[in-house]
Amino acid sequence: MNLFFIFAIMILSIIHGTVGLRIIPYLNLNYNIKIVTWCCIALLAALPIIPIILRSKGFENEVVDWFSWAGYLSLGFFVLTFLAVVTKDLIYLAIGLLTKITAAVGSPSAPTDPGRRDFIQKILSISIVTTTSVSTLAGLYAARKGATIMKTTVPIKGLDKDLSGITIAQVSDLHIGPTIKKGYVEKVVEQVNRLNPDIIAITGDLVDGSVGYLSKHVEPIKDLHANIGKYFVTGNHEYYSGVDQWLDKIDHYGLTNLIDSHEIITKGSGSITLGGVTDYRSSSIKPEHKSDPEKAFYGAPENIPKILLAHQPWSIFDAHKVGADLQLSGHTHGGQFWPFVYAVRMANPYTSGLHDHDGTWIYVNRGTGYWGPPMRLGVKSEITLVKLETKKS
């Protein structure tokens, strides 16, 4: 954990320091205002890490949550501004190199007027701050307005006709914690219940905090209604928040925990095996929770379809080996906000939506909530309604 804080402080210092160095000099501020501005930037750089430190020491209350709100919003703004500043500097560098090359092979260009150059930099700096401020507010609105219902149909080989049309409502990465509370959860429960699903699957990262502090905000999940059953598998964040206590609480709320285990779902003459695994990297925190799809399906009938709930898309390789027909995952948030979509794509085999992995389907939910900055840009939060149909020969 100490290494995490050191790394986080280094990254935050680079982001905020770069923004300050590339914006402040062009705003024509007097000396005293410059000092105040730099002090504010230093405070904002520390703000995202302070609530994390406090929560790690057991301090969870509304004051700490307000620090989280302020820290995460400022972090989102500074990240966007940092990326804009770096992009601007790279464009300027390219133009400068092109100008030198042009001068070397042809007639030299007229010298640039320093006053004109400084004026352009000032206008660009103001434009960047204005644009990223608006983008931060737009991202906040998109994150807080609630999840979009995404519907998809998956053809399953060998699915009995009595099960064709069965629906699974998937909720993932709700991240109930410092900025997502009871009101947001109640809205999600209402949306899911309106879908009237046969099965409800919560695929991890439900919480970011302790049972003692967050249980009243998680409690609305007890009102989820499914015609057949409600199931839960752990994500990585449950292991940062007291996984055993949360599993007990989730069981108390009426959901079935699938800890490398399965249940047989029957309707009419048809059956499917619904399996669930712990988070892909859970064993690094709780060794006895090693994620194991083979164990999850151990003893299951071989002649009926297998559906696996697995928080991280990386489980797809082992899921395919054990003959799963469909894996439902989350974890990626779909990138949450542009341009991090591209980084998330490089870090995961699948980022969002439905994919065919060598004959095993995988659907990756973009996240019903969000994590860190309360922002979504270009990536909607979602509740997924998966409809299973018999695959035609």
pLDDT digits (tens, 9 = 90+) for 326-366: 999 999 999 998 778 888 999 999 999 999 999 999 999 99
Tokens of 241: 């928040």
Q: Selecting from 3.90.45.10, 3.60.21.10, 3.90.1170.50, 3.40.50.720, what CATH number does the domain 147-390 have?
A: 3.60.21.10
Q: Mean pLDDT in the chain? A: 92
Q: Kindly report the backbone phi and psi dihedral angles of residue 353, in degrees, each rounded to the nearest multiple of 5, phi listed first.
A: 80, -170
Whether pLDDT at 168 is above 90: yes
Instruction: For residue 8, name the pLDDT band (cuts at 50, 70, 90).
Output: confident
Residue 108 has a pLDDT of 58
Residue 348 has a pLDDT of 95
Least confident of 181-195, 338-352, 376-390: 338-352
Counting residues of the chain whose pLDDT is more than 90, the rounded percentage is: 77
SS (H, E, C) the chain: CHHHHHHHHHHHHHHHHHHHHHHHHHCCCCHHHHHHHHHHHHHHHHCCHHHHHHHHCCCCCHHHHHHHHHHHHHHHHHHHHHHHHHHHHHHHHHHHHHHHHHHHHCCCCCCCCHHHHHHHHHHHHHHHHHHHHHHHHHHHHHHHCCCEEEEEEEEECCCCCCCCCCEEEEECCCCECCCCCHHHHHHHHHHHHHHCCCEEEEECCCECCCHHHHHHHHHHHHHCCCCCEEEEECCHHHHHCCHHHHHHHHHHCCCEECCCEEEEEEECCEEEEEEECCCCCHHHCCHHHCCCHHHHCCCCCCCCCEEEECCCHHHHHHHHHCCCCEEEECCCHHHCECCHHHHHHHHCCCCCEEEEECCEEEEECCCCCCCCCCCCECCCCEEEEEEEEECCC
pLDDT: which is higher, 196 or 26: 196
Is residue 272 helix, strand or coil?
strand
Whether pLDDT at 5 is above 80: no
Instruction: For residue 9, name the pLDDT band (cuts at 50, 70, 90).
Output: confident
Least confident of 108-117, 169-178, 219-228: 108-117
Residue 370 has a pLDDT of 95
d(CA 279, CA 207): 14
Question: What radius of gyration do the chain's Cα atoms show?
Answer: 25
pTM of the full structure: 0.91
Q: Which amino acid, residue 285?
A: I
Instruction: For residue 322, name the pLDDT band (cuts at 50, 70, 90).
Output: very high
Whether pLDDT at 1 is above 60: no
Q: Where in the chain is the domain with CATH 3.60.21.10?
A: 147-390
Average pLDDT over residues 169-186: 97
Beta-strand pair 261-267/256-257: unpaired
State the burial class of residue 381 (Cβ atoms within 10 Å of its Cβ: 0-12, 13-18, 19+): buried
pLDDT digits (tens, 9 = 90+) for 221-270: 999 999 999 999 999 999 999 999 999 999 999 999 999 999 999 998 89
d(CA 237, CA 175): 8
